C-alpha cells in the first residue's frame, strides 16, 4: 500500500471513530455479547442507585439494616456482608442485581435482549463510602432476607370495613380479620372512651392508623419523618392521641 493510500485509510478510520463517539454510537463496534453486558451493567447500576438512596433516606447505619433494606428491592440479592456499623467498623456489602441487557442494531431495532446477574461491592464507612461496579460475584450461601409485607391497596378496604363496624372493638376486630391481610402485617386495636384506635404496620415506614368514633372512621398514614426511629410509634395509642392526623412541623 502506498504512503498516500495508507494515510487516507488511517484518516478514514479516525473520522469513523470520531463520528461514532460524537453520535453516541460507539457501542455499535462492540460485539453483541459486550453490548448486552454493558447495557445490563448500566441497568443494574440504576437499581443500585435506588438501593443507596434508600439507605440514606432511612438514615441506616447498622449492617443488618442495610441487608434488610437492600433485600426489599426487586431483583437485588445480598451475597455477602461484613462489618457491624457505618461509623465504627464500616460495612461492606456485595449485591447481585439482575440487569436487563439489549443488543441494538444499526437501524435502532432490538436484535436480542436478556437479563444478566451483575455484582456490585458497596463500602459504607467508616470514613468514606465507595462502590465498585461489575465485580466478580462471590460463591457461597447468601444471608436470608425476609421480604416485608405491604399495605398497598388496603386503605379503602379498611376504611369501608371500619365504617360498617362502628366504634365497637369486637366488631372492628372481626372486620379486620375478614380483610384476610398478610399475617406478617402487625395489627393492634385499642378501645378508649367510646373510640377505637387501629394500627396496621407492614414495615418501619408502611403504617396505617385509624380512629373510629360514632361519626365514622378516619384513616391516616404518618409521614416518613414521623415514623423514623424515636418519633411516633405505629400504634393504636397514636391513633387515639393528639398527634393523629397532624403533619410534621
Tell me the average pLDDT of the chain.
89
Q: Report which of 118, 131, 124, 129 is spatially closest to residue 79, judged by C-alpha positions.
A: 118
Is 72 within a domain? yes
210 to 78, 131, 137, 164, 169: CA distances (angstroms): 36, 42, 46, 14, 13
Using CB atoms within 10 A of its CB, is residue 30 exposed (0-12), middle (13-18) or buried (19+)?
A: middle
The packing angle between helices 63-70 and 32-57, to 10°, is: 130
Is 69 within a domain? yes
Domain range spanning residue 165? 155-240
Is 246 within a domain? no
Tell me, yes or no, whether 222 and 125 share the same domain.
Answer: no
pLDDT surpassing 90 at residue 106: no
At 224 the three-state DSSP class reads: coil
Note the pLDDT tens digit of each residue in 139-183. 989 999 999 999 999 999 999 999 999 999 999 999 999 999 999
| 202, containing H or E segment | strand 195-203
Note the pLDDT tens digit of each residue in 30-73. 677 799 999 999 999 999 999 999 999 999 999 999 999 999 99
Tell me, yes or no, whether 187 and 128 share the same domain.
Answer: no
Residue where one domain finishes, among candidates 105, 135, 165: 135
Tell me, yes or no, whether 94 and 160 share the same domain.
Answer: no
Amino acid at each position: 500500500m502506498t504512503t498516500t493510500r495508507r494515510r487516507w485509510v488511517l484518516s478514514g478510520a479516525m473520522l469513523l471513530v470520531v463520528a461514532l463517539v460524537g453520535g453516541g454510537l460507539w457501542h455499535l463496534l462492540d460485539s453483541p455479547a459486550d453490548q448486552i453486558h454493558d447495557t445490563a451493567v448500566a441497568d443494574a447500576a440504576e437499581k443500585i442507585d435506588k438501593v443507596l438512596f434508600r439507605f440514606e433516606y432511612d438514615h441506616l447505619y447498622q449492617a443488618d439494616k442495610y441487608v434488610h433494606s437492600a433485600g426489599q428491592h426487586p431483583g437485588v440479592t445480598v451475597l455477602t456482608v461484613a462489618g457491624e456499623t457505618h461509623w465504627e467498623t464500616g460495612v461492606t456489602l456485595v449485591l447481585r442485581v439482575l440487569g436487563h441487557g439489549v443488543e441494538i442494531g444499526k437501524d435502532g431495532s432490538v436484535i436480542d435482549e436478556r437479563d444478566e446477574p451483575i455484582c456490585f461491592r458497596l463500602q459504607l464507612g467508616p470514613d468514606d463510602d465507595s462502590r465498585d461496579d461489575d465485580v466478580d460475584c462471590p460463591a457461597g450461601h447468601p444471608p436470608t432476607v425476609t421480604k416485608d409485607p405491604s399495605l398497598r391497596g388496603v386503605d379503602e378496604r379498611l376504611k369501608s370495613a371500619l365504617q360498617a363496624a362502628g366504634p365497637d372493638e369486637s366488631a372492628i376486630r372481626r372486620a379486620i380479620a375478614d380483610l384476610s391481610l398478610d399475617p406478617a402485617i402487625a395489627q393492634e386495636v385499642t378501645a378508649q372512651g367510646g373510640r377505637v384506635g387501629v394500627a396496621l404496620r407492614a414495615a418501619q415506614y408502611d403504617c396505617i392508623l385509624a380512629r373510629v368514633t360514632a361519626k365514622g372512621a378516619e384513616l391516616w398514614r404518618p409521614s416518613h419523618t414521623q415514623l423514623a426511629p424515636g418519633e411516633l410509634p405505629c400504634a393504636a395509642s397514636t391513633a387515639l392521641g393528639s398527634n393523629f392526623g397532624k403533619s410534621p412541623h
